[in-house]
Amino acid sequence: MRAVVRTLLAIFLIGSAVAAGPGRATAEPVDLELVLAVDVSGSVDAFEAQLQREGYLRALVHPQVLKAITSGERKKIAVTYVEWAGGYFQRTVVDWAVISDAASARAFVARLNAVPVITERWTSISGAIDFAMERLKASPHKGERRVIDISGDGPNNSGRPVREARDQAVKAGVTINGLPIVNDRPNPWGRPPPPNLDKYYFDNVIGGPGAFIVVARGFKNFAEAIRNKMVREIAGRHFERVVPAAAR
């Protein structure tokens, strides 16, 4: 009888692990689950897209970022890198990986650098948020905090309303930080860049505990901006949210 009970218990435990989803039964605890969501829409030309990518490549292995990672309680974070454009285009470039030291950061960067940069049409920040939420649900890790880091050079013009997606994510306990890229370069069709993009991100994109924006003044300054932003969000510091000058 006891043997039967032990067998049934074993079957129950196995079934529970399967139901929990891949990786969740043995989820690795980390300080932060971070989705890096990068705009590759049509307004970002090939040169700018490459500058963005290089900015992340440099930031992820920077000593300041590594110091922030190893200063946490668990001294490690989980990261995935995705690219997005219109409502129909989101892709995972590098799947979830744990970064805990220089070697693991370099391994992540090597995987990212091996994938070519492509661009697509339209800009769906709401689609990016929804896709990032699905990536968080699929994460095999368990973080004290969950953050979506969105960088882009234009407002939402495809998919559902961005505030709707943002509010749904925030309600689920996720923080969204923003990195609007403000520059004076015309887009590939000769149209001027959108005005007051920092205010747009502040009002419509970011949300959740400690949410903030860091403005990149052009693509050439992107690497410094993303480094500063990653240090701040990895460390989990809750600074006062500074209202963009255009909103005052």
Q: Is residue 6 part of a domain?
A: no
Instruction: Give me the sheet containing 90-99, strands edge to edge.
Output: 90-99, 77-84, 28-39, 141-152, 175-182, 216-217
Q: Is residue 95 part of a domain?
A: yes
Q: What is the rounded distance in angstroms from the CA atom of residue 184 to the CA atom of residue 173?
A: 35
Q: How many CA atoms lie within 13 A of 151 on its CB side?
A: 31
How does DSSP assign 8-30, residue by residue? HHHHHHHHHHHHT-TTGGGPEEE
Residue 135: closest CA among 100, 164, 163, 97: 97
Residue 107: closest CA among 124, 119, 95: 95
For the whole model, what pTM was predicted?
Answer: 0.84
Q: What is the rounded distance in angstroms from the CA atom of residue 224 to the CA atom of residue 166?
A: 26
Residue 128: closest CA among 154, 97, 96, 162: 162
Q: Where are the beta strands (DSSP E) in 40-174?
A: 77-84, 90-99, 141-152
pLDDT of residue 8: 40
Q: Is residue 11 part of a domain?
A: no
CB-based burial label for 163 (10 Å; 0-12, 13-18, 19+): middle
224 is written with which tokens? 């410094």
Q: What is the rounded distance in angstroms from the CA atom of residue 198 to the CA atom of residue 213?
A: 8
pLDDT of residue 20: 38
Q: Is residue 2 part of a domain?
A: no
CATH code (residue 118): 3.40.50.410
* Total of domains in the chain: 1
Per the structure, the complete domain to which residue 139 belongs is given by: 25-240
Q: Is residue 69 part of a domain?
A: yes
Q: What is the rounded distance in angstroms from the CA atom of residue 152 to the CA atom of residue 119?
A: 13
- pLDDT by residue for the chain (248 residues), tens only, comes to 555 444 444 433 334 333 333 444 467 899 999 999 999 987 777 777 888 899 999 999 999 999 999 999 999 999 999 999 999 999 999 999 999 999 999 999 999 999 998 888 899 999 999 999 999 999 999 999 999 999 998 999 999 999 999 999 999 999 999 999 887 665 555 565 567 899 999 999 999 999 999 999 877 788 899 999 999 999 886 444 444 544 44
Q: Is residue 121 part of a domain?
A: yes
CA distances from 236 to 74, 100, 162, 171, 247 (A): 13, 16, 24, 19, 25
Q: Is residue 132 part of a domain?
A: yes
Q: What is the rounded distance in angstroms from the CA atom of residue 211 to the CA atom of residue 193?
A: 25
Let me know: does 164 contact 126? Beta carbons within 8 Å.
yes
Partners of 149 in the β-ladder: 36, 177
Q: Is residue 76 part of a domain?
A: yes
